[in-house]
Amino acid sequence: MASPKKRRRTPRQVVRGIRRRARRGAGRLRRVFWRSLQLRVVTSTMVISIVVVAVLGVFLMQQIQQSVLESRVRAAISEAQADRNAVLGFLTQPESETSEQAADPGEAAQRSGDSPLSQATEALAQRAGSASRYSVIIRNANLPGEFFGTTNIEPKSVPERVRAEVLKNEAGKNDSWFVPLYYADREEPVRGVVIGTRLDTTGAPQLVGDYEIYHLVPLDREEKMLASLQQMLIVVGSGLVLLLAAIASLVTRQVVIPVRLARQAAERLASGKLDERLKVRGEDDLARLAASFNEMAANLALKIHQLEELSQVQRQFVSDVSHELRTPLTTVRMAADLLYDAREDFDPMAARSAELMQNQLERFESMLADLLEISRYDAGAATLDVDSVDVRDVVLRAVADSEALAERHATRFDLRLPGEPCMAEMDSRRVERILRNLLFNAIEHGEGKDIVVTVGADRDAVAVAVRDHGVGLKPGEENMVFDRFWRADPSRARTIGGTGLGLAISREDAMLHGGWLQAWGTPGEGSQFRLSLPRTAGAELRGSPLPLVPPEVEMRRTWRGQHMTPVLSPASADGGRDEE
């Protein structure tokens, strides 16, 4: 069987994949950077060290370069002054004296054709020795195409702007310019400095025009020396930065390790290990911090132990009182039943008293039952009787138990159940009690409006949402509503006569299943309670198949916030799965 052909990715998809991986990598680096104090200190030290070393290195390099070039230019100017006098001597010497210096006639005839400029150039070439020291170019303004130079120097090494400046200066004045030098035996130009001066020919009337002499000094040796010095500065600066980073790492390590140990000890202390302590070494600030931490841990353990004992006493007291009250309550209940059954034979006042006593005894029995249930949760004695049931059947039974109360409050149930079975492993008695408490609460606070009961399920979880359109909840009350004996409005009279423990017990039942019981509410828009349970008993609940915020409310928020066509939120559009 041939394997399916792998689909080729487009360049845009490749670029998107690279961007996603880059963002993930950058996110990991940011998390590591902000979680490590030592890494931040070392990084900051390296950045500051690099900036300081770079600034100092550039400053020192500029100073050294300026000093080397200035010393080289001063030496070149002094040599140019001496060579200027030598050239002037050749130019002002009579031509007959030059020809008589030859011993035989043939040599004299040959030398007689040489000009004083060529003789001066040869003499300067011998004085310079080599082109690496300096070269000389002699020119005359009246002879544009003619020049005399030494050591293969090219005439274009002296730009026209330099010649113009030299001709404008007074005779004997030396100026310098940094220019590229061109040689006939080299392909690439060499950076150098040119020293230009104009000869004073006032004492030699036989000379025609202004003569210029240029000393061209190559700076390749100086550049090599400066390049080596720059490399040395970079190596030394890099070593210094690494050394400072190592020192910062060692110094911060001495501080970070005790802090890290304190953090780990605090985490273990927060997880319940009250005997966790730090080792105290020395007498510095970190040692005093460890001692203070140990003292705090000891005091905290003592307070927690005292609170546990007090809580245990309170739980035992509630349990004992609840059990002890059941015996006299049974006797009173029997007498009350007799009076209630015979109330028709009493006068109206006595009959009404018998009815009130019967109602209050029922409320008292309900409160005792809730207190006993709470005491079992506090003692950790509550257990589950798990069975695989259809959530829809549990919801229908809870709704049936609440129908009579809903009719008295002119309230109607709107059931939204899935068409397929929603099987889950749960204690149906406890879940049914949760739903009854939620329905009673919705009836009491729903102000006679319809109550929507929604059932949802996915592969891992099932959920039931009870939505009313009554007074709603204020910000922050969505968590307080599950506290024992808490009431949103103490001045509001109870219409059902609950004990104030129903939602607290419901939350304990949900947590016993490994599920969630959450509330949402907004003043004027009602409230919604959502029960989310895992399908398999003992499994971890990662999300809920129903949204906590009703979809219609989310649509209105989207409309008001974006001023566009209302759309369902992503949580509602894909089945409404919410994460905790």
Q: Which two tokens stand for residue 243?
A: 């050394």
How far does CA 510 lie from the centroid of its chain? 37
Angle CA 4–7–12, to nearest 5:
170
- Tokens 């490590």, located at residue: 36
| pLDDT value for 61 | 87
Could you say which of 271, 295, 316 is where a domain stops? 271
Tell whether 429 and 561 lie within a shared domain: yes
* Domain presence at residue 7: no
Cα–Cα–Cα angle for 542, 545, 550, nearest 5°? Answer: 120
Give me the number of domains the chain comprises: 3
Contacts of 134 (CB under 8 A, 6+ apart): 76, 79, 128, 215, 216, 217, 218
How many helical (H) and strand (E) elements, i.e. helices and strands, does the chain have? Answer: 15, 14
- For position 395, what pLDDT does the model report? 92
| Residue 230 domain flag | yes
Place of tokens 């940094």: 178
Nearest residue to 121 (alpha-carbon basis) of 36, 214, 14:
214
Q: Is the dihedral of CA 93, 97, 99, 103 positive or negative?
A: negative
Give the Cα separation of 539 and 530 in Å (integer).
19
- Residues 134, 251: one domain? yes
d(CA 527, CA 136): 100
The domain that contains 172 carries what CATH number? 3.30.450.20
Place of tokens 């009959």: 351
Enumerate the β-bridge partners of residue 143: 140
Q: Dig out the tokens for 3 from the structure.
A: 């394997």
Q: What is the pLDDT at residue 119?
A: 65
On whether the CB atoms of residues 114 and 101 are closer than 8 A, the answer is: no
**Does residue 467 sit within a domain?**
yes
Helix axes 502-512, 428-445, angle to 10 degrees: 150
In a domain, 9, yes or no: no
Answer yes or no: do 315 and 265 share one domain.
Answer: no
- Name residue 382's amino acid: A
Query: Which of 579, 513, 506, 523 shows the shortest CA–CA distance to 547?
Result: 579
Compute and round to an integer the Cα radius of gyration of the chain. Answer: 51
Contact of 434 with 400, CB cutoff 8 Å: no
Helix (H) or strand (E) holding 355: helix 348-378
Let me know whether 314 and 457 are in one domain. no
Quote the pTM value: 0.46
pLDDT in tens, the chain (580 residues): 444 455 677 878 788 888 888 888 888 878 877 777 777 888 888 888 888 888 988 898 888 888 888 888 888 887 777 777 677 666 666 554 444 443 343 333 333 345 666 666 666 766 666 556 777 887 776 666 666 777 678 888 888 888 888 878 776 677 888 888 888 878 888 888 888 887 766 555 555 557 788 888 888 888 888 888 888 888 888 888 888 888 888 888 877 777 788 878 888 888 877 788 888 877 777 778 888 888 888 888 888 888 877 777 766 776 677 677 777 878 888 888 888 888 888 888 888 888 888 877 877 777 777 777 777 776 666 778 888 999 999 999 999 988 888 888 888 999 999 988 889 999 888 898 889 889 988 988 888 889 999 999 988 899 999 999 888 888 888 888 888 777 665 555 455 555 677 788 888 888 888 898 999 988 888 899 999 999 988 888 888 899 988 888 777 766 665 544 433 333 333 344 555 4
Tell me: do 476 and 529 sit in the same domain.
Answer: yes
Q: What is the CATH number of the domain that holds 435?
A: 3.30.565.10
DSSP state of 406: H
Contact (CB, 8 A) for 507 and 482: yes
Tell me the pairing of strands 143-149 and 135-140: antiparallel
Same domain, 215 and 341: no
Same domain, 296 and 265: no
- Is 244 among the domain residues? yes
Instruction: Give the pLDDT score at 105.
Output: 35
Beta bridge partners of 149: 137
Residues 6 or more apart whose CB falls under 8 angstroms from that of 17 comprise 9
Strands 143-149 and 175-181: unpaired
Token output for 63:
């100073």
The reply to whether 336 and 243 lie within a common domain is no
E runs forming strands in 105-142: 135-140
Indicate if 320 and 250 belong to the same structural domain. Answer: no
The neighbouring-strand residues paired with 218 are: 192
Burial class of residue 241 in the structure, from the number of CB atoms within 10 Å of its CB (0-12 exposed, 13-18 middle, 19+ buried): buried
Instruction: Please tell me the predicted confidence (pLDDT) of residue 496.
Output: 54
What are the two backbone dihedrals, phi and then psi, of residue 184, each rounded to the nearest 5 degrees?
-70, -30
The secondary structure of residue 266, as a DSSP letter, is H
Last residue of a domain, one of 343, 378, 413: 378
Residue 4: which residues within 8 A CB-CB, separation 6 or more? none
For 62-111, give the secondary structure using H, E and C: HHHHHHHHHHHHHHHHHHHHHHHHHHHHHHHCCHHHHHHCCCCHHHHHHH
- List Cα–Cα distances, 382 to 376, 505, 539, in angstroms: 6, 11, 19
Tokens linked to 32 = 């590591």
Q: What is the C-alpha separation between 209 and 262, in angstroms, rounded?
A: 92
108 within some domain:
yes
pLDDT of residue 574: 39
| Gap between the Cα atoms of 252 and 347, Å rounded | 89
Range of the domain at 421: 387-487+501-579
What pLDDT score does 186 carry?
A: 81
Flag whether 14 is in a domain.
Answer: no
**The domain spanning residue 362 has which CATH number?**
1.10.287.130
- Do 233 and 88 lie in one domain? The reply is yes
Record the tokens describing residue 7, joined without a space.
């689909």
* 411 and 264 housed in the same domain: no
Residue (of 508, 509, 532) closest to 520 by Cα position: 532
451-457 and 516-522 as β-strands: parallel, antiparallel, unpaired? unpaired
Would you say 514 and 493 are in contact if contact means Cβ atoms under 8 Å apart?
no
Instruction: Based on the fold, state whether residues 136 and 38 are members of the same structural domain.
Output: yes
Exposed e or buried b per residue across 333-371, where buried means at least 16 C-beta atoms within 10 angstroms of its C-beta: beebeebeeebeeeeeeebeebeebbeebeeeeebbebb
Q: In what order do the strands lie in the sheet with 451-457?
A: 413-416, 451-457, 461-468, 526-534, 516-522
- pLDDT recorded at residue 137: 80
Place of tokens 């919801």: 395
| C-alpha span between 515 and 526 (Å, rounded) | 24
**DSSP E strand boundaries for 221-360:** none
Beta bridge partners of 387: 426
End residue of a domain, out of 241, 271, 301: 271
CA distances from 117 to 139, 148, 200, 309 (A): 9, 7, 15, 117
Q: Is residue 3 part of a domain?
A: no
3-state secondary structure of 529: strand
Using CA atoms, how far apart are residues 523 and 439, in angstroms rounded to an integer? 19
